Copies of this chain bind each other. A is one copy, B any other.
């Protein structure tokens, strides 16, 4: 599609009668306004001069303490001075790319990989090595084979919990194998964990950072447990990396907003964040349920999808012959939007898949959106069957299905 076609598509997709299963917006409407009001009011009343001023490149001490406390909830031990505050997780990705990647360097990512990581790293012109995932996350044997093949990559980037876009979680056994393999290969791991606290069921698994603090750079954000509008993310890393990140941060924008850092600190200091998070998890969990049930009801035969235990996303693999990228304009015409799988591969793969997000639309909209999508896919599958070349019966059986 041309840029103007994409713009036209997005203009239509943002109309209120279109159900968007495309974006990954948190449902911030679930936060009680009075809680937020109380926090911002207390920040300005108690400390307007600090809230309105510049701060150091690494961020304000209070919010660094608060995010260290948040990490402890997931079993990650961190001291505040091992943390640098960034503008959400995305700036953490940009700064990591900036200090590690020289043009042509190899970087290992998941297949499919978070599109924002691909675009952040791409600015520094790496060569991506993509490792397949299955329902238990990264396939370790594929990583072993790639490391045997490839020159030394600069780092491995992964979202082990409820990954974006695949919605899968790295199993405990693979976590152990991954940190061991990477430590042995001298390959630093960049662990991105925006969704870890949004678990709907099952037991939390240890973070990679917990399993190997010396070889894992950990990225976090308050975007999903509080709000993306404050743009507060962070990196936990060893002092040498932290110093380079801080210099890169200062060159990039001097410092993050003191006002929003103080707001995030106060919000996390109060106990209201736990209550609100519990509510958010209930909301997202019921939306996940609605999406999986609707897929079961409406997806054409041959469609498969992941079963996320948390997070925002379901990854849908389509029957042979359906092209998710080519089908998007028709889907938007029928008032449902998604992200074609191609967005999550740097090499053009992914036409046979799509990412659906259940984070933002209400349950009823999810049901209706998936029903619309099911009709579009079913018609495309029928059209594909009608267009398939006629193969003589005696030869068809001898051919691989492709």
Q: A227-B52, A259-B229 are in contact. Are A119 and B251 (CB under 8 A)?
A: yes
- Tell me the A20-79 residues at the B interface (CB within 8 Å): 25-26, 28-29, 31, 33, 36-37, 40-41, 44-45, 48-55
Contact call B90/A254, Cβ cutoff below 8 A: yes
Closest Cβ of chain B to A135, distance in Å, is 29
Q: Name the residue of chain B whose CB is nearest to the CB of A122.
A: B251
Q: Is A120 part of the binding interface, using a Cβ–Cβ cutoff of 8 Å? A: yes
Q: Is A228 part of the binding interface, using a Cβ–Cβ cutoff of 8 Å? A: yes
Contact call A28/B52, Cβ cutoff below 8 A: yes
Report Cα–Cα, A45/B41, bound state, in Å. Answer: 11
Contact call A49/B29, Cβ cutoff below 8 A: yes
Contact call B37/A49, Cβ cutoff below 8 A: no
Please tell me how many copies of the chain the complex holds. 2
Instruction: Tell me which residues across on chain B come within 8 A of A33, comparing CB atoms.
Output: 44-45, 48
Q: Name the residue of chain B whose CB is nearest to the CB of A87.
A: B253
Contact call B258/A229, Cβ cutoff below 8 A: yes
Closest Cβ of chain B to A63, distance in Å, is 13
Q: Name the residue of chain B whose CB is nearest to the CB of A97.
A: B251
Instruction: Tell me which residues across on chain B come within 8 A of A254, comparing CB atoms.
Output: 88, 90, 116, 228
Q: Which of B52, B55, B87, B229 contacts A53 (CB 8 A)?
A: B229
Central interface residue in A40, A123, A251, A256, by most chain B CB within 10 Å: A251
Contact call B252/A94, Cβ cutoff below 8 A: yes
Q: Name the residue of chain B whose CB is nearest to the CB of A29.
A: B49
Contact call A231/B252, Cβ cutoff below 8 A: no
Tally of chain A residues near chain B (CB < 8 A): 51
Contact call A119/B229, Cβ cutoff below 8 A: no
Q: A90-B254, A91-B253 are in contact. Are A53 and B40 (CB under 8 A)?
A: no
Contact call A31/B53, Cβ cutoff below 8 A: no
Q: Is A263 part of the binding interface, using a Cβ–Cβ cutoff of 8 Å? A: yes
Q: Is A9 part of the binding interface, using a Cβ–Cβ cutoff of 8 Å? A: no
Instruction: Tell me which residues across on chain B come within 8 A of A252, comparing CB atoms.
Output: 90-91, 94, 120, 123, 252
- Tell me the A248-271 residues at the B interface (CB within 8 Å): 248, 250-260, 263
Instruction: Tell me which residues across on chain B come within 8 A of A86, comparing CB atoms.
Output: 253
Q: Is A98 part of the binding interface, using a Cβ–Cβ cutoff of 8 Å? A: yes
Instruction: Tell me which residues across on chain B come within 8 A of A41, comparing CB atoms.
Output: 37, 40-41
Central interface residue in A48, A55, A91, A223, by most chain B CB within 10 Å: A48
Report 9 cross-chain contacts, Cβ distance below 8 Å, ordered by A residue: A33-B48, A40-B259, A52-B228, A87-B256, A88-B254, A90-B254, A123-B248, A123-B251, A229-B258
Residues of A in contact with B (beta carbons under 8 Å apart): 25-26, 28-29, 31, 33, 36-37, 40-41, 44-45, 48-55, 86-88, 90-91, 94, 98, 116, 119-120, 122-123, 223, 227-231, 248, 250-260, 263
Q: Known pairs A31-B52, A50-B229, A88-B254; list 10 more (Cβ under 8 Å).
A: A28-B49, A52-B227, A52-B230, A54-B223, A87-B253, A88-B253, A94-B251, A119-B250, A123-B252, A230-B257
